Chain A
Amino acid sequence: MSTSTVLYDHPGPRARVRNRVLSVVFGVGLVALLWWIYHKFDQAGQWEGWLWKPFTKPTTWTQFILPALGQTLLAATTGMVLSLAFGIVFAVGRLSDHWWLRMPAGVVVEFFRAVPLLIMIFFIFYGVPFLIQGPVSAFWAVVIGLTLYNGSVLAEAFRAGIRSLPGGQSEAAYAVGMRKNQVMRLILVPQAARAMLPVIVSQLVVLLKDTALGYIVAFPELLQRGVNDLAANYGNIVASAIVVAAIFIALNSLITMLAGWLDRRTRQRAFRTPKQTAAPGPTTPGGAAVAEPQG
């Protein structure tokens, strides 16, 4: 009988007893660790009621957290739409038959993937105003930075998706008389986008997390308003950091669950091409989020 994991067999009676003993031992260790953390917080007076009280007041939510959450989501959705467009354009550019299109597109994608997002944001926020003789808003500094970086990552994902399609797809399309542009637009990109959907959605998690970099250029997003400004008012920096972290974790877990659901859905459909079903990769819950971690 095949086991669910490669590492160990189904436990027999002795292994079950051993696992139970280990469970108890590590369970006690875990409880001790949690108690120690609780105790440390307690010593520092972090469980005092007044530190957490602001979160029961509606004004905290209406003045700080919800507007900030709105800004975070606005930056993330704008960035997502723009980076999808950027990704498709540069993926197609990199696959072009003309070297004068392929080369620059490749250089751009490799460059923006290698440069830290913060360097991009600083350049746009502090440097570009000198060049255009006018201010750049923090919002656009963050969104353009996010677009260039995530767009480049998505371009690579699309390119991998297009290249993983069987050659017969484009051959058949050419055979029925389509032009290069039509083959790409009607046949290859839609299939690649569908095959790469989980990767694309996982990239949304990265993008949403990266909006927190806006804090560094004083963009009023969740970290800036919900932790920095809120704690400046109530002096509860640890409490508000925990609340904001919980919001981020909840949002990103939702997106990750969506990615997992989309992955299962595309797998169930008969759409999968023979080449891909031949080597069914192991599914990790949470999709391919391992690919490109970034702040």
Chain B
Amino acid sequence: MHVFADPSNFDAYVSGFLWILKLTGASAVFALILGVLLAAFRVSPVPVLRWIGAAWVTVFRNSPLTLIIFFCYFGLYATLGVSLSDDLNLNNFWLGVVGLSVYTAAFVCEAVRSGINTVPAGQAEAARAIGLTFFQTLRIVVLPQAGRAVVAPLGSVLIALCKNATIVGTIGLIEASSVMKQLINDNGDAVIPIFAVFAGTFAALLVPTGYLFGWLANRLAVKR
């Protein structure tokens, strides 16, 4: 553990995980907004909107995230000149957030859409039969049931997003995985403790999150 007794190494470790948390937080917000919007597109009665949603999901769900992040940096920033901040680190951070968000939005969209599909058609038919309007049906009958069905899949999307945030290291943001690589290269005699600390931190963050979402999903599940 002597590696982490060195303050500069410990600071690197902390700042690496802070970047991961910031990336996860910012991307989660954007991906959730974008994903719900895309899901609304995909279930809308307007064909053009359905096509946009479907195209987005096909393109971004089937592309490797590494390629998307790579494109955000070398394509958007270096070639097309899209700059998101004057600060080099912050620019990489926001480019990473763009990549993570557009990718994760595709998964959020699919999770929300399948959540809506778990509501039996009879529920909406019954709501219409008693005279509720479209928005009343949505607000009082469909969305509350769909929201509960969506908790578990959104939990796994969030966990995957947190793990995927390490890929932003590819474009030069010194996040946890880059810090670990650097520490391993500098301290060949302490490879296992370094790995144990980094992997252990991720496990300590994500295993409880997984159980929390599992518990929530069970608690909120609609009994049919």
Binding site for B on A (CB under 8 A): 2-3, 5-9, 11, 15, 19, 22-23, 26-27, 30, 40-41, 44, 46, 110-111, 113-120, 122-123, 126-128, 130-131, 205, 209-213, 215-216, 223, 227, 231, 237-238, 241, 244-245, 248-249, 251-253, 256, 279, 281-282, 284, 286, 289-295
Contacts and interface: CB of A to CB of B under 8 A. Distances in A.
B114 A212 contact: no
A44 B58 CA distance: 27
Contacts of B122: 2
Interface in B165-213: 166-167, 169-170, 176-177, 180-181, 184-185, 188-189, 191-192, 194-195, 198-199, 202-203, 205-207, 210
A262 to B, nearest CB: 18
Interface of B: 43, 45-49, 52, 58-59, 61-67, 70-71, 74-75, 78-81, 103-104, 107, 110-111, 113-114, 116-125, 128, 134, 137-138, 142, 153, 156-157, 159-160, 163-164, 166-167, 169-170, 176-177, 180-181, 184-185, 188-189, 191-192, 194-195, 198-199, 202-203, 205-207, 210, 224
B67 A212 contact: yes
Nearest to A115: B199
A116 B166 contact: yes
Contact of B45 (A8, A114, A256): A8
A249 B80 contact: no
25 contacts: A2-B122, A5-B121, A7-B137, A9-B128, A15-B45, A22-B49, A26-B48, A110-B203, A114-B206, A115-B163, A119-B176, A119-B177, A122-B177, A123-B195, A209-B64, A216-B167, A216-B170, A231-B74, A238-B80, A282-B118, A290-B111, A293-B103, A293-B164, A294-B160, A295-B66
Top 4 nearest A-B pairs (CB, nearest first) are A212-B64, A295-B65, A252-B62, A116-B163
Contacts of A23: 46-48
